[in-house]
Amino acid sequence: MSVLAGDAFSAQPRALIVTIYGLYARDAGGWLSISALIRLMAELGADEPAVRSATSRLKQRGVLEPRRRDGAAGYGLTEHGVAILAEGDLRIFQRPRASSSDGWLLAVFSVPEDQRSRRHALRSRLAWLGFGSVAAGVWIAPAQLAAETRTVLEANGLAGYVSLFTARYLAFGDIRDQVSQWWDLDRLEHLYQAFIDSATPVLARWEAYRVSPGDEGRAFADYVRLLTAWRRLPFLDPGLPAELLPDGWHGARAAELFAQLSDLLAGTARRHVDAITGQAQARIEDR
């Protein structure tokens, strides 16, 4: 049984499957057999009907598609699924925190009243990118997001509604006060604290227990739950300059815990997946 506990690490089977594909399927052609996926998800407490229901929903959303390999039934990532995971990689593992000297990126948009669905899609994508709201039709983000914002808006057919500008804050009022109005930092702090509350005892247990032969399944389950809980937080965090964040910002400690647990569990979790899927041999043959 997994040693993870706490609401921060609770996740639906669909979210866990996306994490598994992101971690382990892409270097095997984006494919996993359904039998291997069911075995892996069993480590996470999901039964076969739940796995089949979740994969069906991911198929409907255009993330997975049914494929057979060497006679085995399974699911592979679609182009859309690959793109989603690639965007996640950038945010989850590589995104640096902005500097005040970078300036700001403004997105000014206007969507006709009869295209409300496009307005909703645009707001959702801007929020997903890390933008905060200054006023109706005016959103703001650290300027380092300019290239990613252009790419995402163009890919989603939303560029025609938006004008992007880089800017400097001149006046009026304390910029820290303004930032707290543009973004809901209190909510983000709460989410980071929930992650810390769940991850801290997990790290303590694994450091005291250490990973030994036979622990691969537990390490896999904890690592997948850890990453699933963590991966939504960088999408809510705009990556603001440290000097504009509240004192004692919980995001720093949360990121440290994520890195420590990843270092501790990732290798053992990979060996468990390789043992079930045979991916280690497949990677050797693909070279």
What are the tens digits of pLDDT across the range 158-172? 999 999 999 999 989
What pLDDT is attached to residue 213?
61
Domain spanning 1-97+185-287 has what CATH number?
1.10.10.10
Where residue 284 falls among pLDDT bands split at 50, 70, 90?
A: very low
Question: Is residue 60 predicted with pLDDT exceeding 60?
Answer: yes
Question: Is residue 9 predicted with pLDDT exceeding 90?
Answer: no
Output 247 or 138, whichever has higher pLDDT: 138
- Contact present, 196 and 248 (Cβ < 8 Å): no
User: Where are the extended beta strands (E) located within the chain?
Assistant: 31-33, 64-69, 72-77, 104-109, 132-135, 138-142, 162-167
Mean pLDDT of 67-95: 88
What pLDDT is attached to residue 2?
44
Residue ranges per domain, the chain?
A: 1-97+185-287, 104-167
Domain spanning 104-167 has what CATH number?
3.30.70
What pLDDT is attached to residue 287?
44
What pLDDT is attached to residue 286?
46
In this structure, the strands spanning 72-77 and 64-69 are antiparallel
What pLDDT is attached to residue 73?
94
Pairs from 234-237 (Cβ < 8 Å, separation ≥ 24): 234/91, 234/92, 234/95, 235/91, 235/128, 235/130, 236/130, 236/188, 236/191, 237/130, 237/188
Question: What is the per-residue pLDDT across 191-221, written as a single tens digit (0 to 9) for each?
Answer: 999 999 999 998 998 888 766 666 889 999 9
State the Cα–Cα distance between residues 121 and 115, nearest whole angstrom.
10
Question: What is the per-residue pLDDT across 141-164, written as a single tens digit (0 to 9) for each?
Answer: 999 999 989 998 998 899 999 999
Where residue 245 falls among pLDDT bands split at 50, 70, 90?
A: very high
For the chain, the average pLDDT equals 89
- Topology alike, domains 1-97+185-287 and 104-167: no
What pLDDT is attached to residue 184?
93
State the Cα–Cα distance between residues 266 and 230, nearest whole angstrom.
14
Question: Is residue 3 predicted with pLDDT exceeding 60?
Answer: no
